Amino acid sequence: MRKTVLLYGVLCGALIAALRFIEYRWLVIEHSFEIYGGLIAAVFSGVGIWLGLRLTRPKETIKETVVLREVRVPDGAPFVRDEEQRQALGLTARELEILELMAEGLSNKEIADRVFVSENTVKTHTSRVFDKLGARRRTQAVQLGKSLRLIP
């Protein structure tokens, strides 16, 4: 009895495997155009994604670093702006003016009213001052400006 069940099981398994093989061959032959088209589409998609990432990758830039030097001046001496430091940092006259007004504690709106520009222009100048000084906040920028003898 066991041998008979085992024999039927093996025969049924072989029959199922043969049917699967025939079905696979029929599927490949019948739908070969769709399969090849799908493979070509996958290859072109992969190449397109790779090429897109390669072409839109940000360019490598070399960032120039500026060494900041702090100068101590005795109390009571008149303020003299360090022009070498200003030029080394690349601060423009307008950015220096914005930094001085920030040191007075004025808001962006008040600075805009005082120098006759829009508030967005003040924000742009402020962010450029932050970048050039390496500051994250207004107070830090003012502190750096004073220690570098850019503002009184």
Q: Is 122 within the bounds of a domain?
A: yes
Number of domains in the chain: 2
Domain enclosing residue 13, as ranges: 2-55
Total Cβ atoms within 10 A of residue 96? 18
Q: Considering the chain, what is the average pLDDT of its residues?
A: 82
The pLDDT assigned to 57 comes to 80
pLDDT tens digits, one per residue of 2-60: 778 787 788 888 888 877 777 777 766 777 777 788 888 888 988 888 888 888 887 76
The pLDDT assigned to 80 comes to 76
Is 51 found in the same domain as 102? no
25: three-class secondary structure by DSSP: helix
Total Cβ atoms within 10 A of residue 131? 11
Give the list of residues 6+ apart from residue 91 with CB closer than 8 angstroms, or none. 99, 129, 132, 150
Residue 125 and residue 128: Cα distance in Å, rounded?
A: 5
For helices 119-133 and 93-103, angle between their N-to-C axes, nearest 10 degrees: 90
Q: Is the pTM above the cut of 0.75?
A: no
Q: Is 101 within the bounds of a domain?
A: yes
The pLDDT assigned to 56 comes to 85
The pLDDT assigned to 65 comes to 59
Domain boundary among 17, 38, 55: 55
How far, in whole angstroms, is CA 78 from its chain's centroid?
44
Task: Answer whether 129's CB lies under 8 Å from 98's CB.
Answer: yes
The pLDDT assigned to 113 comes to 92
Q: Is 88 within the bounds of a domain?
A: yes
Of residues 121 and 2, which shows the higher confidence score? Answer: 121
Task: Answer whether 108's CB lies under 8 Å from 119's CB.
Answer: yes
Write the CATH number for 112.
1.10.10.10
Task: Answer whether 68's CB lies under 8 Å from 148's CB.
Answer: yes
Is 92 found in the same domain as 39? no
The pLDDT assigned to 63 comes to 60
Q: In percent, how much of the chain has pLDDT > 70?
A: 86
pLDDT tens digits, one per residue of 49-104: 888 888 888 776 656 555 556 556 566 667 777 788 888 888 888 988 898 899 88
Question: Which H helix or E strand runs over 9?
Answer: helix 2-30
